[in-house]
Structure formats: structure tokens, C-alpha cells
């Protein structure tokens, strides 16, 4: 247990070190913790191999059914909100891949409410390792790969079908969009988990932004009320996950009077989201009062 030899105060609530050096140390330590806890849960899942295979398959299929709905819709119509099937597949694939990545890494966070309720959250605080990493890796479920794989497959399909004039900038924008999108979703998940310190039962509110956002971003922005579109640009910045950069890649104008340069703003928005989420998490952790059970 290498963590036991860390200087006192390195773990515990909140990051210990201030400044960049401390931040890097905390990040490295978080990653180590995360890997260790995740590996433990993977080993435990593998005890029931057939059950794991079934859950992996069903995780893939659940997400696939989402896409079947779109296929069924396009069986009835030629375009949805003025977007072709290939374009919708591209939107679906980018949103699905980003969300799949975030869900794979952070998908355990909503469980935290239950742990705060029953008091088992306290054990995380006692261990000399970053709390967020422990909670995020708690019951790490490898089956969530199914969702990610499905998103990537649809993305590839969409890219094959799309007939675009690619520029280096557009090519670069795709991976940047996927990673920034994953970070924005992850930040929302951490933000939601922070709220659980005060409201342990409110985990579902987060899923309306994460799962709900994912569903919304699979469809073209043209079909939604423009106020709603403005809401996911300026209030909850989900539009930066894929809509704004994707519309640029597809050669379409930005929606709802949003300026065109926002197509490149996703990494910046992701950084701001992560900073806000980190602040919320530390505030929540400081405010945490154990139930004592």
C-alpha cells in the first residue's frame, strides 16, 4: 500500500497541495486509486463470466435500440428537421461516443447517494486516497464498454455515409469534439454527484442532463424549440458536446443566432465545466455530515 506512506494530509477531504505541483500529484494519485479500485471490481465481475457477457451484450443492445428508433423513423421519412440520415448518424455517433466515454469512467457516481444515505460513504473518507477517484471507480462496470462501442460504430457508419469536403481543421475537430464532449458530460456527472451531499435522493436529476442530454444531442437542433437550444448553449453547455462543432463539420450554420466561432470553443467550455465541477465537489465534501449509521 504505497498510499500509506504519503505525507499526512495528502489524502483526506479535498486536494492537499495547492498550486500546480500539488494538482499534478493529486491527479496522479487519483489515477492510481481509480485504476486499483476499478481493477478490483473487474476481477469481481469476472467471477460470474456468463452474467458479465450478458450484461455487456445488453448494454450494447440497449444503446443500439436507441438507434433502432432513429432507423425506424427514417424508414418512414427521408429527413428529420432537414437533416439526412447520414447527418443524424454523425450527430448520434459523436454524442454517443462522448457520453459512452464519460459513462465508462464516471458512471458509478450516482450510486454515491445511496452510500451517503446508508453511511458507507464514510469508509471512503478514512482511506488515504482521493475520494472522488474512489467514488467514481466504486463498482466499476466494464459492461459500459457496450455503450461506447455502439457509439463509435454509429459514428464510423455516419462518417462513411457522409459526403463531405474534409479540411484539416474539420478532421482535427472530430477527436477534439469527442474528448471535450466526454469531459463536459463527466463534469456534469461530478456536479450532479456533488449535489448528492445535500440531496441523496436526487440522482435522477443528473440523469436528465446526462442521459437526457445525450438523447437530445442525437437529433438535429432544428427540431427543438429555439429557446431550448439557447438553454443548452448558455445555461447547461451541452451544445458544445457535439452540436456546435458538428454543425461546422457538416457545413451548416450555428443554431439560434449563436456566433460561428463557438464551433471551436468546446475545449475551453470543457475546461470551465471541469473547474466548476471540481469546485462543487470540494464544497460538497466539506459540507458533508455523516448520517452516523
Does residue 118 bind other proteins (CB under 8 A)? no
Rg for the chain, CA atoms, rounded: 20
The only residue of 39, 228, 275, 287 in contact with other proteins, by rule CB under 8 A: 228
Does residue 120 bind other proteins (CB under 8 A)? no
3-state secondary structure of 105: helix
Does residue 69 bind other proteins (CB under 8 A)? yes
Does residue 216 bind other proteins (CB under 8 A)? yes
CB-count burial class (<10 Å; 0-12, 13-18, 19+) for 276: middle
Cβ neighbour number for residue 214 with a 10 Å cutoff:
27
* Min dist. Cβ of residue 246 to other proteins (A): 17
* Min dist. Cβ of residue 59 to other proteins (A): 7
Helix pair 85-106, 203-217: axis angle to 10 deg: 150
Nearer to other proteins, 152 or 207 (CB): 207
3-state secondary structure of 10: coil
Range list of H helices, the chain: 19-45, 49-76, 85-106, 112-118, 122-126, 131-137, 145-161, 168-195, 203-217, 226-234, 243-249, 266-287
* Min dist. Cβ of residue 71 to other proteins (A): 10
Nearer to other proteins, 80 or 191 (CB): 80
Does residue 224 bind other proteins (CB under 8 A)? yes
Residues that bind other proteins (CB under 8 A): 48, 50-55, 58-59, 61-62, 65-66, 68-69, 72-73, 75-81, 199-205, 207-209, 212, 215-216, 219, 223-225, 228
Amino acid at each position: 500500500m504505497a498510499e500509506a506512506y504519503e505525507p499526512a494530509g495528502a489524502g483526506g477531504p479535498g486536494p492537499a497541495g495547492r498550486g500546480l505541483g500539488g494538482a499534478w500529484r493529486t491527479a496522479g494519485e487519483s489515477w492510481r486509486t481509480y485504476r486499483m479500485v476499478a481493477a478490483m471490481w473487474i476481477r469481481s465481475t469476472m467471477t460470474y463470466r456468463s452474467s458479465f457477457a450478458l450484461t455487456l451484450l445488453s448494454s450494447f443492445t440497449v444503446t443500439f435500440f436507441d438507434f433502432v428508433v432513429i432507423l425506424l423513423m427514417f424508414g418512414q421519412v427521408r429527413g428529420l428537421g432537414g437533416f439526412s440520415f447520414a447527418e443524424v448518424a454523425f450527430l448520434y455517433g459523436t454524442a454517443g461516443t462522448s457520453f459512452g466515454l464519460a459513462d465508462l469512467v464516471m458512471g458509478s457516481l450516482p450510486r454515491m447517494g445511496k452510500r451517503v444515505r446508508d453511511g458507507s460513504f464514510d469508509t471512503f473518507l478514512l482511506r488515504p486516497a482521493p475520494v472522488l477517484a474512489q467514488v467514481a471507480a466504486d463498482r466499476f462496470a466494464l459492461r459500459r464498454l457496450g455503450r461506447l462501442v455502439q457509439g463509435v460504430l454509429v459514428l464510423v457508419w455516419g462518417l462513411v455515409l457522409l459526403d463531405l469536403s474534409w479540411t484539416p481543421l474539420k478532421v482535427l475537430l472530430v477527436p477534439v469534439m469527442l474528448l471535450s464532449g466526454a469531459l463536459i458530460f463527466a463534469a456534469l456527472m461530478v456536479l450532479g454527484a456533488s449535489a448528492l451531499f445535500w440531496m441523496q435522493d436526487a440522482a435522477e436529476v443528473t440523469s436528465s442532463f446526462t442521459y437526457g442530454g445525450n438523447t437530445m444531442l442525437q437529433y438535429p437542433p432544428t427540431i427543438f424549440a429555439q429557446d431550448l437550444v439557447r438553454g443548452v448553449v448558455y445555461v447547461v453547455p451541452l451544445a458544445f458536446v457535439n452540436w456546435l462543432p458538428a454543425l461546422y463539420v457538416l457545413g451548416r450554420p450555428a443554431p439560434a443566432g449563436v456566433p460561428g466561432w463557438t464551433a471551436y470553443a468546446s475545449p475551453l467550455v470543457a475546461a470551465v465545466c471541469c473547474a466548476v465541477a471540481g469546485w462543487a465537489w470540494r464544497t460538497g465534501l466539506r459540507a458533508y455530515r455523516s448520517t452516523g449509521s
